[in-house]
């Protein structure tokens, strides 16, 4: 039961988020529309737009993975006219990323779907994970700089043999445009229940870094490590970095590439045998060397980082997550760090639970602040104030 509880902690909190969301959604008429894309406007706000994730396009717009579907926003939070006209409903998922043609990718359970505008040079498509002997579940998918796609996730089932029958490992798949599978590779501890990749990002050299959790060893409690894995463009492992304490649960939920070609990731780590957890954030170099490694919280039941982003001026690394006290509801919690030194700049733990039970996604705004998703959408300044 310890394994089941640990593995589904993040999913449980997402489900709690969905159940807490209001059925009333702010409409585009209520927010107003904008004919001009505003970029770098100094704004802060809170909007009733429940969502799991948010990302930004290169033209000063933002795309929101809302629980009622996708929305396109400007700097003021105005809902902009969209080529889908809100007609395309997508699953609320953290595996949500924009594409170069103005569309987006959605990764959910056993498929990756690409939605494209009508005037895009390519078409939309959906790739379903093939029916391997062991079920494969997708957590994230991104578009590569050369127009292919990378998907990551985990393999379910009992221990198996090698190849496509190998169970209990994290996987990375590369797809061509149109959703054609080029290759799929599996990584982690052989012949064990699941290792997991939650998120993936492209490296400067054309390879990829995935993060998640990797089992320490084959033993009863399934303790795991906060895990970075680097592969080349063909899926060959280049390095692997495991962080954490033996006989504890350590998990990475999100990763971003830093301006120097290194990476930063966040998640959580249990800090005692009673399951008390602290948020963990790690900065790592392009070759896998740990630059700094910080934990925060752990003074209640669990503190957890779900997502992170570097602001426009590259001087604040924001971690968005939650705090679960020993009793009562969880609440949104935000942390800010100096990306170079790892020194903590701020902690924000005073957001009313009516706005959400946790922060699920964050992206850098064009005015040096951040946009954060929960039961409400928050636009903050660089220090998490709104």
Q: 28 in a domain, yes or no?
A: yes
316: CATH? 2.130.10.10
Range of the domain at 170: 2-34+47-380
First to last CA, the chain: 41
Task: Say how many residues make up the chain.
Answer: 386
Distances (CA, A) of 300 to 140, 215, 322, 337, 347: 30, 25, 11, 21, 15
Residue 166: per-residue pLDDT: 60
Q: 375 in a domain, yes or no?
A: yes
pLDDT tens sequence across 236-275? 999 999 998 766 778 899 999 999 999 999 999 887 767 6
Residues 6+ apart with CB under 8 A from 147: 100, 177
pLDDT tens sequence across 148-187? 999 999 988 655 555 665 656 899 999 999 999 999 999 9
Residue 282: per-residue pLDDT: 98
Q: Report the distance separating Cα 19 and Cα 13, nearest Å.
A: 10
Q: List the single range of 1-10, 112-121, 264-273, 376-385 with lowest mean pLDDT.
A: 1-10
Residue 15: per-residue pLDDT: 37
DSSP SS3 for 135: coil
Q: 42 in a domain, yes or no?
A: no
Residue 31 banded pLDDT, cuts 50, 70, 90: very low
Checking if the pLDDT of 234 tops 50, the result is yes
Checking if the pLDDT of 145 tops 80, the result is yes
Task: Tell how strand 208-215 and strand 196-202 pair up.
Answer: antiparallel
Residue 326: per-residue pLDDT: 80
Checking if the pLDDT of 7 tops 80, the result is no
* Residue 208: exposure state from Cβ atoms within 10 A (0-12, 13-18, ≥19): buried
Q: 40 in a domain, yes or no?
A: no
Q: Report the distance separating Cα 140 and Cα 302, nearest Å.
A: 24
Q: Report the distance separating Cα 52 and Cα 42, nearest Å.
A: 24
Q: How many domains does the chain have?
A: 1
Q: Which two tokens stand for residue 145?
A: 């700089």
Q: 98 in a domain, yes or no?
A: yes
Kindly report the backbone phi and psi dihedral angles of residue 10, in degrees, each rounded to the nearest multiple of 5, phi listed first. Answer: -65, -45
Q: List the single range of 26-30, 44-48, 198-202, 224-228 with lowest mean pLDDT.
A: 26-30
pLDDT tens sequence across 65-89? 887 778 889 988 998 887 655 445 5
Element containing residue 120 per DSSP (H, E):
none
Residue 160: per-residue pLDDT: 55
Residue 4 banded pLDDT, cuts 50, 70, 90: very low
Residue 192: per-residue pLDDT: 65
Q: Report the distance separating Cα 230 and Cα 112, nearest Å.
A: 22
Kindly report the backbone phi and psi dihedral angles of residue 117, in degrees, each rounded to the nearest multiple of 5, phi listed first. Answer: -65, 155
Q: Report the distance separating Cα 319 and Cα 330, nearest Å.
A: 16
pLDDT tens sequence across 310-342? 999 999 999 999 998 888 889 999 999 999 999
Share of the chain above pLDDT 90, in %: 53
Q: Report the distance separating Cα 170 and Cα 163, nearest Å.
A: 13
Q: Report the distance separating Cα 134 and Cα 324, nearest Å.
A: 34
């Amino acid at each position: 039961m310890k394994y089941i509880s640990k593995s589904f902690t993040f999913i449980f909190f997402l489900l709690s988020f969905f159940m807490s969301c209001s059925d009333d959604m702010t409409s585009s008429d209520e927010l107003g529309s904008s004919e001009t894309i505003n970029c770098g406007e100094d704004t802060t706000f809170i909007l009733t737009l429940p969502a799991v994730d948010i990302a930004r396009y290169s033209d000063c717009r933002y795309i929101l993975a809302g629980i009622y579907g996708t929305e396109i926003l400007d700097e003021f939070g105005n809902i902009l006219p969209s080529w889908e006209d809100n007609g395309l409903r997508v699953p609320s998922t953290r595996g949500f990323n924009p594409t170069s043609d103005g569309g987006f990718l959605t990764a959910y359970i056993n498929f990756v779907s690409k939605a494209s505008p009508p005037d895009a040079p390519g078409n939309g498509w959906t790739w379903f994970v093939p029916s391997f002997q062991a079920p494969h579940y997708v957590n994230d998918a991104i578009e590569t700089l050369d127009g292919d796609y990378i998907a990551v996730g985990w393999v379910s089932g009992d221990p198996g043999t090698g190849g496509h029958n190998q169970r209990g490992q994290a996987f990375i798949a590369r797809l061509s445009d149109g959703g054609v599978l080029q290759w799929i590779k599996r990584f982690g501890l052989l012949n064990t229940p699941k290792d997991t990749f939650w998120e993936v990002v492209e490296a400067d050299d054309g390879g990829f870094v995935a993060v998640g959790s990797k089992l320490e060893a084959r033993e009863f409690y399934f303790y795991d490590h906060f895990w970075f894995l680097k592969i080349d463009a063909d899926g060959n492992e280049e390095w692997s970095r495991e962080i954490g304490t033996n006989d504890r649960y350590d998990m990475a939920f999100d990763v971003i590439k830093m301006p120097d070609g290194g990476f930063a990731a966040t998640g959580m780590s249990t800090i005692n045998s009673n399951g008390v957890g602290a948020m963990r954030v790690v900065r790592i170099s392009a070759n896998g060397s740990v630059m700094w490694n910080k934990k925060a919280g752990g003074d209640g039941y669990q503190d957890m980082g779900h997502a992170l982003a570097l602001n426009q001026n590259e001087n604040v690394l924001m971690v968005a997550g939650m705090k679960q006290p020993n009793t009562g509801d969880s609440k949104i919690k935000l942390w800010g760090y100096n990306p170079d030194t790892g020194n903590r700049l701020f902690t924000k733990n005073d957001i009313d639970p009516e706005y959400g039970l946790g922060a699920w996604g964050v992206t850098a705004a064009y005015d040096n602040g951040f946009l954060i998703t929960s039961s409400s959408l928050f636009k903050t300044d660089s220090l998490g104030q709104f």
